[in-house]
């Protein structure tokens, strides 16, 4: 090599510290002390002759030079990790960090997960949940499942499950009062909403030709899974994503109403950094998800 490399351990410590912009959290991640992280950053800054962080009270912030350096180094470490994963002699367990919505995990992923584990017992899935868009440059996530538009540079996006919504309820509601025989009857019942999909009811009512129907009572929940559970308990009618309630419909805890599903072009997507596209564990999970969705 023409030019000597900077010391490698401080480089890795810097990448971890830059991800958190917090030396204490970096120390916890690395299993060392906060002082050790600070020393390693100092060694690297001394070698480079510039500041990578601006130290503030109880906080460190990347300098513009530090932010540019971190982006390039992160790509390099990802390439090293990918190259290591691709070695034919590498055997044993593999770990895949997956980010998903809690409702999607509960309604679609977990009911199918035993099939994935049976096919790929060597892969340990580490599943986290959040409704926030994933930040691959700031989080230890290899692949995520996101809904709707995904606008990130340097990522691959694979749609796999399109959006179909329909009203569902406990079958007991069909036998009681007030009646629930036609779409217009919905206004006499309690409607169950999920905060993160607050417009689904309005979209379905337009689809059913009822944009101006008077809505009486409503209950709003933080997540879709909570709204579905409320419907199972007979508290009202939920507007559901078909992919998340298929097993509940199959076992009879919920029934669909009026045979008027609304199909929309929005989709769930698999999203992952382009530099990780050749990870064997990621490829296995991606292919399994696509096959499961196509069923």
Whether the predicted pLDDT of 1 surpasses 60: no
Token pair belonging to 240: 């559901």
* pLDDT 10s digits, 95-134: 899 999 988 998 899 989 999 999 998 898 999 998 888 8
Q: 68-77, 235-244, 282-291: which has the minimum mean pLDDT?
A: 68-77
pLDDT at 177 (0 to 100):
78
* pLDDT 10s digits, 210-241: 877 767 788 999 888 899 999 999 999 999 99
Instruction: Specify whether the CB–CB gap between 13 and 41 falls below 8 A.
Output: yes
pLDDT at 289 (0 to 100):
93
pTM: 0.66
Q: 55-59, 101-105, 279-283: which has the minimum mean pLDDT?
A: 55-59
Beta strands in the chain (DSSP E): 53-56, 59-62, 94-100, 123-129, 143-147, 155-169, 191-194, 218-221, 237-241, 255-256, 262-273
* pLDDT 10s digits, 195-208: 888 888 889 988 98
Residue with more model confidence, 251 or 187: 251
Cα(211)–Cα(151) distance, integer angstroms: 31
Cα(14)–Cα(21) distance, integer angstroms: 10
pLDDT at 89 (0 to 100):
47
Instruction: Specify whether the CB–CB gap between 71 and 63 falls below 8 A.
Output: no
Domains plus CATH for the chain? 8-86 (1.10.10.10), 98-160+267-294 (3.40.190.10), 163-265 (3.40.190.10)
Mean pLDDT across the chain, nearest whole number?
Answer: 86
User: What's the angle, vertex CA 91, arms to CA 85 and CA 96, rounded to 5?
Assistant: 50
Cα(40)–Cα(134) distance, integer angstroms: 28
Instruction: Specify whether the CB–CB gap between 126 and 95 falls below 8 A.
Output: yes
* pLDDT 10s digits, 131-186: 888 888 778 889 999 988 777 778 889 988 888 999 999 998 888 778 888 888 88
Instruction: Specify whether the CB–CB gap between 96 and 142 falls below 8 A.
Output: yes
Do you find a cis peptide bond into 158, omega within 30 degrees of 0?
no
Q: Which residue has the tokens 């009486």?
A: 216
Strand partners, 270: 145, 158
């Amino acid at each position: 090599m023409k030019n000597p490399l900077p010391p490698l351990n401080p480089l890795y410590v810097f990448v971890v510290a830059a991800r958190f912009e917090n030396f204490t959290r970096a120390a916890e991640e690395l299993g060392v002390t906060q002082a050790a992280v600070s020393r390693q950053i100092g060694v690297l800054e001394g070698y480079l002759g510039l500041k990578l962080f601006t130290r503030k009270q109880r906080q460190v912030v990347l300098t513009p030079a530090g932010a540019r350096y971190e982006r390039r180094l992160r790509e390099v470490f990802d390439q090293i990790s990918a190259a290591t994963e691709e070695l034919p002699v590498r055997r044993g367990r593999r770990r895949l960090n997956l980010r998903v919505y809690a409702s999607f995990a509960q309604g679609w992923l977990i009911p199918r997960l035993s099939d994935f584990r049976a096919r790929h017992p060597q892969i340990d899935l580490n599943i986290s949940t959040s409704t926030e868009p994933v930040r691959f440059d700031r989080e230890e996530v290899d692949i995520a499942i996101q809904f709707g538009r995904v606008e990130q540079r340097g990522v691959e996006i694979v749609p796999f499950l399109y959006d179909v919504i329909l009203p569902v309820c406990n079958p007991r509601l069909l036998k009681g009062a007030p009646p629930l025989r036609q779409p217009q009857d919905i206004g006499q019942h309690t409607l169950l909403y999920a905060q993160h999909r607050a417009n689904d009811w309005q979209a379905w009512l337009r689809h059913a030709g009822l944009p101006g129907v008077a809505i009486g009572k409503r209950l709003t929940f933080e997540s879709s899974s909570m709204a579905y559970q409320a419907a199972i308990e007979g508290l009202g009618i939920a507007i559901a994503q078909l992919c998340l309630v298929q097993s509940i419909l199959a076992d009879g805890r919920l029934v669909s109403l009026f045979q008027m599903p609304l199909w929309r072009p929005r989709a769930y997507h698999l999203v992952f950094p382009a530099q990780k596209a050749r990870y064997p564990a990621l490829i296995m999970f991606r292919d399994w998800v696509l096959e499961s969705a196509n069923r």
